[in-house]
Chain A
Amino acid sequence: MALSTPSKFGASSAAGLTARITSGKRDVKGRVVEWVLLATLGVTLLILVALIVNLLDRAWPVLNGRFGDFLSSGLDASNAQEAGVWQAIRGTLTLAIIVIVVSFPLGIACAVYLEEYASRSRLARLIRINVRNLAGVPSIVYGILGLTIFVKFAGGITGGRTVIAGGLTLSVLVLPVVVITASEALRAVPRSIREGAMGVGATQWETVRSHVLPSAAPGILTGTMLALSRAAGEAAPLLLVGGITGLLRTGNLSLWEQITDGGFTSMPVAIFSYARQTGADFQAVTAAASLILLVLVVVINGLAIWLRNRFERNW
């Protein structure tokens, strides 16, 4: 037992050492650090609560007084009593549809190329690095791209500063998000699924279509949801490609004419216009519009997170 119990160890005696090891001293430092870390999380959550409470508090006059009217009025940054969000909601929905139609197929196709067709080729590596960099490009820079390419260069097709140019700009903006999340979903599909399909004679495309894409669908869907919520909350690039900020008169244009050659706005752009006005009236309008956008984005995000947790598969 006492093979090597030294009478002295360093400066302390054996008895002192034993006492130090066996004493039930609390880990005070550990506790303090843990509480500090917990506090950072608490502060972060508190910010979220403060944001929501503040918005509800400020938005109350509008929510309580003229919510129906607010939902059905157009963009008007000169008169808070007339200001509303219906054009903005319609604009955001139109933009979202364009993003879904343009960006999702393109992004998923790019991810399929990267993961299924050319995962180790030099071109694929270049594209992968490129996509990661695109994901970090500030959104306002995409606005410049949209202004030069979609508004000016392709103005004949998009009609200039229309919702189509805005939608295409947002599609390019969220493309890297779609590619990255879809790639991750495809990478999570085990090899054996592909080998099973190939083993019975399926071509590469048939393997992708009938086995890989269905298996990766929940993950891909989650990624597209996140991309969609990003697009719904983005204002900066739209300012550059012509999102209307002051007053949007649609006159007696038909819906189709409004889409093809009328001005457009969106929820974030409308919030920006209202936030720049002074006075408690406009604060209420801004807060109410922010609340609507926040609910929209959080619902899309929540759906994405729920989908991920619900359909997460461990192969």
Chain B
Amino acid sequence: MFIERETMSASTTQSWTVADLRLAGGRRRTDVRMRRLFIAAGLITLLVTGLIVYTLVKDAFSFFIDVPKHELWNIGWFPRRGFFDIKTLVVGSLMVTGVAMLIAVPLGLGVAVYLSEFARPRVRRVLKPIVEVLAGIPSVVLGYFAIAFINPNLITVLAPGANKAFNFAAAGVAVGILTIPIIASVAEDALRAVPLALREASYGLGARRVATTFRVVLPASISGVVAALILGISRAVGETMVVAIAAGAVGGGLFSTDPFQPGQTMTAAMAALGFGSDQVAGDGLAFQSLFFIGFLLFVLTFLLNLLGDRLVRRVREEY
């Protein structure tokens, strides 16, 4: 066959056709089939988002239609008694997030700057995995740590009036610990993305390491650092188990702005509605309020993540 073709091409100018170059049927079919399979896998992720939005919007909407509107602005969040005060939950979430950021921003950024700008390569190789271990701690374990260690040894010592068993502050500190590795790793990536030439230029002008770090590297990577903070906030707002364990108030909570008292957040309220949910399962308002808070939480974290993602990519594209 091969020889024949050789002689043919010698006699005529060109006798190759598309059919000669085409794959054998079986190999082509496999290739097409696998391509379809991979596209389907990609589409499934879109389906997941679609289903999340659909389930949330559908029941959140019917909750919003059915609920007596004055119940949305009330003395507290007691879904089984028909009190759906949204501000109780939102303020609770904000307090936990605020305390968490007080802990996580200085520690997370400090770790990021140290690992990226000051640590020698060998030190960094050892320390970075340890910080990564912190990221792997399950949130239930930190929730337990909040009531067993943080509250008795830290919060009630610093604020003697604080609730001895459960409060927002202890939960917030534990959420902050969970957020440290996120802020540290995103911020460190941003700092390390700053080209060496910028640092060298700064040293060349006679600046020392501190000036180089804070006047050159940090400003150059500022959008990535801000992104780290935003992603950290998003993570803190969405954290559930720590708050469900350490903030108390399982069935509901009165409106409160005192971080040293127990109370309810958006995520903890959802967990409380969900587990032992034989009581709330069905079509009652309490059950539907689960979807309403879920929808609020989804929109909030979605906006934060979108913003954070934008900023991260800006850093990446600049250099």
- Tell me the chain A residues, 24-55 only, with Cβ under 8 Å from chain B: 27, 29-30, 33-34, 36-41, 43-45, 47-48, 50-51, 54-55
Indicate whether B198 reaches chain A with its CB closer than 8 angstroms. Answer: no
Asked, given contacts A44-B111, A144-B291, A290-B144, whether A305 binds B132 with beta carbons under 8 Å apart, the answer is yes
Indicate whether A123 reaches chain B with its CB closer than 8 angstroms. Answer: yes
Indicate whether B30 reaches chain A with its CB closer than 8 angstroms. Answer: yes
Question: Which residue of chain A has its CB nearest to the CB of B54?
Answer: A148
- Complex Cα distance A62/B151, Å? 23
- Complex Cα distance A195/B295, Å? 47
Question: Which of B40, B141, B144, B294 is close to A141, meaning CB atoms less than 8 Å apart?
Answer: B294
Indicate whether B218 reaches chain A with its CB closer than 8 angstroms. Answer: no
With a cutoff of 8 Å between Cβ atoms, the chain A residues found around residue B56 in the complex are: 141, 144
Indicate whether B180 reaches chain A with its CB closer than 8 angstroms. Answer: yes
CB pair B42–A30 under 8 Å, yes or no, is: no
Question: Which residue of chain B has its CB nearest to the CB of A126?
Answer: B46
Asked, given contacts A138-B237, A144-B55, whether A30 binds B208 with beta carbons under 8 Å apart, the answer is yes
Indicate whether B25 reaches chain A with its CB closer than 8 angstroms. Answer: no
> Closest approach, in angstroms, between the C-beta of A34 and any C-beta of chain B?
6
CB pair A141–B298 under 8 Å, yes or no, is: yes
- Complex Cα distance A133/B305, Å? 6
Asked, given contacts A27-B208, A143-B274, A276-B245, whether A136 binds B147 with beta carbons under 8 Å apart, the answer is no
CB pair B42–A229 under 8 Å, yes or no, is: no
Question: Which of A109, A134, A136, A240 is close to B37, meaning CB atoms less than 8 Å apart?
Answer: A109
- Tell me the chain A residues, 85-126 only, with Cβ under 8 Å from chain B: 106-107, 109-110, 112-114, 116-118, 123-124, 126
- Tell me the chain A residues, 236-253 only, with Cβ under 8 Å from chain B: 236, 239-240, 242-243, 245-246
Indicate whether A68 reaches chain B with its CB closer than 8 angstroms. Answer: no
With a cutoff of 8 Å between Cβ atoms, the chain A residues found around residue B209 in the complex are: 30, 34
> Closest approach, in angstroms, between the C-beta of A210 and any C-beta of chain B?
13
> Closest approach, in angstroms, between the C-beta of A257 and any C-beta of chain B?
21
Asked, given contacts A48-B133, A141-B294, whether A133 binds B306 with beta carbons under 8 Å apart, the answer is yes
CB pair B144–A287 under 8 Å, yes or no, is: yes
- Complex Cα distance A117/B55, Å? 31
- Complex Cα distance A40/B291, Å? 39
CB pair A113–B294 under 8 Å, yes or no, is: no
Asked, given contacts A133-B305, A134-B48, A287-B144, whether A113 binds B42 with beta carbons under 8 Å apart, the answer is yes
Indicate whether B23 reaches chain A with its CB closer than 8 angstroms. Answer: yes
CB pair A110–B133 under 8 Å, yes or no, is: no
With a cutoff of 8 Å between Cβ atoms, the chain A residues found around residue B250 in the complex are: 276
Indicate whether A275 reaches chain B with its CB closer than 8 angstroms. Answer: yes
- Complex Cα distance A44/B134, Å? 9
- Complex Cα distance A243/B147, Å? 22
Question: Which residue of chain B has its CB nearest to the CB of A244?
Answer: B275
> Closest approach, in angstroms, between the C-beta of A9 and any C-beta of chain B?
15
With a cutoff of 8 Å between Cβ atoms, the chain B residues found around residue A39 in the complex are: 110
Question: Which residue of chain A has its CB nearest to the CB of B244?
Answer: A272
Asked, given contacts A175-B48, A205-B35, whether A240 binds B275 with beta carbons under 8 Å apart, the answer is yes
Indicate whether A188 reaches chain B with its CB closer than 8 angstroms. Answer: no
Indicate whether B129 reaches chain A with its CB closer than 8 angstroms. Answer: yes
Main secondary structure of the interface of A (DSSP, over half): helix
Asked, given contacts A40-B114, A43-B107, A268-B138, whether A140 binds B270 with beta carbons under 8 Å apart, the answer is yes
Most interface-central of A44, A114, A226 (chain B CB within 10 A): A44
With a cutoff of 8 Å between Cβ atoms, the chain B residues found around residue A130 in the complex are: 45-46, 49
CB pair B148–A54 under 8 Å, yes or no, is: yes
Question: Which residue of chain B has its CB nearest to the CB of A112?
Answer: B38
CB pair B267–A138 under 8 Å, yes or no, is: yes
Question: Which residue of chain B has its CB nearest to the CB of A226?
Answer: B136
CB pair B55–A133 under 8 Å, yes or no, is: no
Indicate whether A215 reaches chain B with its CB closer than 8 angstroms. Answer: no
Indicate whether A84 reaches chain B with its CB closer than 8 angstroms. Answer: no
Interface bits B237-258 vs A (CB < 8 Å: 1, else 0): 1111100110000100000000
- Complex Cα distance A227/B43, Å? 20
CB pair A37–B240 under 8 Å, yes or no, is: no
10 contacts between A and B (CB under 8 A): A48-B130, A110-B44, A118-B39, A136-B231, A139-B240, A203-B23, A205-B35, A236-B241, A240-B277, A271-B144
Query: Sorted from nearest, which 8 A-B pairs have the closest CB atoms?
Result: A138-B238, A40-B110, A233-B138, A109-B41, A136-B305, A240-B274, A113-B38, A236-B240
Given A116-B38, A141-B52, A205-B35, 14 additional A-B pairs, CB 8 A: A41-B114, A44-B134, A45-B130, A54-B148, A112-B38, A112-B41, A113-B38, A136-B235, A136-B302, A203-B27, A272-B244, A275-B143, A286-B144, A305-B132
Q: Which residues of B contact A (CB under 8 A)?
A: 23, 27-28, 30-31, 34-35, 37-46, 48-49, 51-52, 55-56, 59, 106-107, 109-111, 113-115, 118, 127, 129-134, 136-145, 147-149, 177, 180, 184, 208-210, 213, 231, 234-235, 237-241, 244-245, 250, 267, 270-271, 274-277, 290-291, 294, 297-298, 301-302, 304-306, 308-309
